[in-house]
Amino acid sequence: EKIVTIVGARPQFIKVAPVSRALRQSFREVIVNTGQHYDFNMAGQFFDELEIPRPDYDLEVGSHSHGKQTGLMLQAIEEVLLQEKPDGVIVYGDTNSTLAGALAASKLHIPLFHVEAGLRSYNKAMPEEINRVLTDHVSDLLFAPTETAVKNLERESIADPVRLCGDVMYDAVVYNREIAGRRYGPERYGVERKAYYLCTIHRAENTDRPERLGAIIDSLIRLEAPVLLPLHPRTQKVLRELGRLDVLARHDHIRLIEPVSYMEMLALETEAAAIVTDSGGVQKEAYFARVPCFTLRDETEWMETVEAGWNKLIDPLRMDLKSEIERLEIAAYQDRLYGDGRASEKIVGAIQAYYHSKVSECWF
């Protein structure tokens, strides 16, 4: 069978790496890159470093408003699907690339497989929540990373099969963390192991609300240890517009850097004293690295990390990050919250079983 894989944004390049490796053992895969992310450090470098096969199609859609970006992708993906006539389509996560792929496939009646199904923040102001709810409801096979995700889907009475497989981002960590540790360390930024904070910010709810972004920046300035801040282009742009980029750069302990590669990120996460982030993926990677995480959001889809005592939600307008970090008490680590590192194999096995059962249906 032929499977079309649709990716386009940074976290999707990381998720596709282990799944593609497993998928290509038994399927023909055609990779479509929507081009939602396009800077080398947001896209190209991941293909090189993670040895992801080159995309068969580069749609080069780029940055636009939500409607235009999703619409352009939908149109271009439909053309690819009509040409390739695949037996199935895989989409990942909750970006606009995910939704465009899901709509294109489902309207052409091509079986749709959603990796990272069932996550919910129950906050419809998040574009990702719209993308994931709609994608789940048109998918034919849903791969849930956690029990919580399975329960969320049960509550929505989704009739199509849900498979609990574990998290493919954990597969990626298991596969890469040793190599990352050998290759990179924090020394190149002039900071010492376990004596710095690592911070990422990019979520719309933070970047698009100046008073909230301002409070985050002020709380980073108040920290005493060095803060490594690989800046997402979205955040870089907003901070420049607000005139805060120069102000931030003037503080010696704030190290503004370009987005780093996945391997470098894994190494920086492992050696950090604590991680401050609004990223979904980074919250889990902090947990895998056994590093405490402070999440700059009002809710999280990855509640297990909070319940386990390793992640704390921070409202930057009401809470003081510095005292929250100081107050932290490390909890006992619980293994296997996100699977056993073999989610990709389980996903591929379930896709195989899906086609097998379809054939049986035709025979009897």
When the beta carbons of 162 and 260 are compared against ligand UDP, the nearer one is 260
Which of 18, 101, 259, 316 binds ligand UDP (CB under 6 A)? It is 259
When the beta carbons of 127 and 181 are compared against ligand UD1, the nearer one is 127
CA distance 6 to 4: 7
Q: How many residues does the chain have?
A: 364
Query: Among 53, 46, 93, 92, which residue's Cα sits nearest to residue 264?
Result: 46
Which of 281, 292, 316, 339 binds ligand UDP (CB under 6 A)? It is 281
CA distance 201 to 222: 17
The site partner of 230 among ligand UDP, ligand UD1, none (C-beta below 5 to 8 Å per kind) is ligand UDP
When the beta carbons of 13 and 354 are compared against ligand UDP, the nearer one is 13
Q: Does 74 help bind ligand UDP (rule: CB under 6 A)? A: no
When the beta carbons of 110 and 282 are compared against ligand UDP, the nearer one is 282
| Strand pairing report for 2-7 and 28-33 | parallel
**Which residues lie near ligand UD1 (CB under 6 A)?**
9-11, 36-39, 42, 63, 94-96, 127-128, 202, 233-234, 237
When the beta carbons of 280 and 341 are compared against ligand UDP, the nearer one is 280
Residues contacting 159, CB < 8 A, separation 6+ = none
Handedness of CA 23, 28, 34, 40 (dihedral sign): positive
The site partner of 297 among ligand UD1, ligand UDP, none (C-beta below 5 to 8 Å per kind) is none
CA distance 350 to 340: 16
CA distance 113 to 103: 12
Alpha helix (H) residue ranges in 3-109: 10-23, 44-49, 66-84, 96-107
Q: Which of 202, 251, 253, 356 is catalytic?
A: 202
Least CB distance to ligand UD1 at residue 1 (A):
28
Least CB distance to ligand UDP at residue 364 (A):
43
* Selected range binding ligand UDP among 216-224, 244-252, 276-284, 324-332, rule: CB under 6 A: 276-284
Q: What is the DSSP letter of 278?
A: -
* Selected range binding ligand UDP among 261-269, 300-308, 309-317, 350-358, rule: CB under 6 A: 261-269
The site partner of 39 among ligand UD1, ligand UDP, none (C-beta below 5 to 8 Å per kind) is ligand UD1
Least CB distance to ligand UDP at residue 218 (A):
22
CA distance 92 to 98: 6
Alpha helix (H) residue ranges in the chain: 10-23, 44-49, 66-84, 96-107, 127-138, 147-155, 168-183, 204-207, 210-222, 233-241, 245-249, 262-271, 280-288, 303-307, 321-327, 343-363
Question: Torsion-angle region of residue 159: left (phi > 0), alpha (psi -120 to 50) or beta?
Answer: alpha
When the beta carbons of 171 and 285 are compared against ligand UDP, the nearer one is 285
Residues 95-154 that bind ligand UDP (CB under 6 A): none
CA distance 334 to 309: 10
Q: Does 14 help bind ligand UDP (rule: CB under 6 A)? A: yes
Query: Among 267, 278, 194, which residue's Cα sits nearest to residue 231?
Result: 278
Q: Does 11 help bind ligand UDP (rule: CB under 6 A)? A: yes
114 is catalytic: no
Which of 265, 314, 321, 343 binds ligand UDP (CB under 6 A)? It is 265
The site partner of 127 among ligand UDP, ligand UD1, none (C-beta below 5 to 8 Å per kind) is ligand UD1
The site partner of 145 among ligand UD1, ligand UDP, none (C-beta below 5 to 8 Å per kind) is none
The tokens describing 276, both together, are 């401050």
Question: In the chain, what's the furthest Cα-to-Cα distance?
Answer: 72
Residues 179-238 that bind ligand UDP (CB under 6 A): 200, 202, 230
Which of 166, 186, 280, 341 binds ligand UDP (CB under 6 A)? It is 280
Active site residues: 202
Contact residues toward ligand UDP (CB under 6 A) are: 10-11, 14, 200, 202, 230, 259-262, 265, 279-282, 285
